[in-house]
Chain A
């Protein structure tokens, strides 16, 4: 049973560039959330997608945007990259309205230079 799959695993970008990260949810899950985890910190909620709509958003600027496709996979886009965007980006999937049944992927390590 494949869990949550994220690609790429590592990425190096230059300040000002744009990046797209991808996530395939666990089989049977229809909801995808994105989190940013800076070094030595806990993950911080970016947003959640359900039924191809952004259902909830955390305290992140509009440079962070996302999309969910009909097959429930999702993309996270970050524009105008800053050095402070360097972090591990985690995707978590869950079934429907679950408050706790989140399965996380291994993340994409983004380095902005």
Chain B
């Protein structure tokens, strides 16, 4: 079993839809949770990060972490064609061995159709 599982999609939605992306993980030592957006031929760009459990909102984006279920989500409201990209979840330990490496999911490819 991989440490981080993410459905690779592809996911296709109409413009204006609410998009839900999610990841599950198996390592309870993970404390920091991130969502990255990666456009074709580019490096990942940090969208959101959350420490431990809870919700965080930034504009059209909301990140949720449920540590009891080992489940994280990213919601995109009023999706735009410019949101079309691959979305990667990533996580890391808070301290100790392995705390400096990000463990990524496979990424979900999202297409927002005008």
Contacts and interface: CB of A to CB of B under 8 A. Distances in A.
Nearest to B95: A99
A91 B105 CA distance: 18
B100 A99 contact: yes
A31 B101 CA distance: 12
A42 B107 contact: yes
A99 B99 contact: yes
B102 A43 contact: yes
A112 B88 CA distance: 26
Interface in B67-114: 88, 90, 92-94, 97-107
A106 B8 contact: no
A33 interface: yes
B6 interface: yes
Nearest to B99: A99
Contacts of A42: 4, 6, 88, 90, 104-107
A56 B8 contact: no
Contact of A45 (B6, B88, B103, B107): B103
Interface string A88-113: 00101000000111111111000000
B60 interface: no
Contacts of A58: 101
Contact of A55 (B45, B100, B102): B100
B51 to A, nearest CB: 8
A104 B49 CA distance: 15
A33 B45 contact: no
5 contacts: A33-B100, A48-B101, A90-B43, A90-B44, A99-B100
Interface of A: 4, 31, 33, 35, 40-45, 48, 55-56, 58, 90, 92, 99-107
